[in-house]
Chains A and B, each alone.
Chain A
């Protein structure tokens, strides 16, 4: 399934595609950057709800957006992370910079 990018106030929600590779990451990056030009985005949620595979291109996409929002005191969240995705995120050290969205929701 395809991806979706939606902005609401200073939040950007990115529903990732079934398989997130270099080809898909380039398309998503372009759309996210377009949204970030139109809206002042501080928080980004990468939603893995329908994603079954991600390679290192996805890591580049997420760390790149972290750099964009971190300078403005923002944050990047990841949501619906399954076991495979958890392995990829852990291996890349990405958990040092992103926060599981479910932790935020359950603590409110």
Chain B
């Protein structure tokens, strides 16, 4: 069976949307009949990427509902458009590609950030395992970032290998 498909969604960077992102990706790959384990792996990877965007990219869960900016610069919910996360996914054959993009602070040193147990937020009990989990639970991980502009994480996972 070969499916080609694409989906792009955008949502504000709030904790509640971590589960929304997982559900969307799960439904997107449903046609490939993933095993429970494959689905759990994919959910963990998506969860890590979206969580990173929220707590590191935007560095806060305090989102401005009224930013005082002109309406055209605000998202649909009236939130600052800069605090949006873009979740894009595509299917090609049995490979699903998920990319998570934020327009936050970016990462100065990607190699350092990807070291297991390295975290800039030990006070928030972050384990420093985010990128390690993304790597372990998918087949391929790419991270690109521009300080001050944002970060994109691209993950590929083969379903039904």
Contact = CB atoms under 8 A, between A and B. Distances in A.
A61 B40 contact: no
B51 A61 contact: no
Nearest to A88: B44
A64 B125 CA distance: 6
* Most chain A Cβ neighbours within 10 Å, of B18, B22, B36: B18
Given A55-B44, A56-B130, A92-B129, A19 B54 contact: no
A54 interface: yes
B142 interface: no
Contact of A19 (B37, B43, B51): B43
Contacts of A25: 125
Given A22-B54, A52-B40, A57-B51, A91 B127 contact: no
Given A52-B40, A53-B40, A55-B133, A19 B125 contact: no
B15 interface: yes
A84 B34 CA distance: 14
Contacts of A83: 37
B127 A92 contact: yes
Interface residues on B, range: 20 to 34
A23 B15 contact: yes
B48 A55 contact: yes
Contacts of B40: 52-53, 84
22 contacts: A19-B19, A21-B18, A21-B19, A22-B15, A22-B51, A22-B54, A22-B55, A23-B18, A53-B47, A54-B44, A56-B127, A56-B129, A57-B47, A60-B125, A63-B125, A63-B127, A84-B36, A84-B40, A84-B41, A88-B133, A91-B132, A92-B129
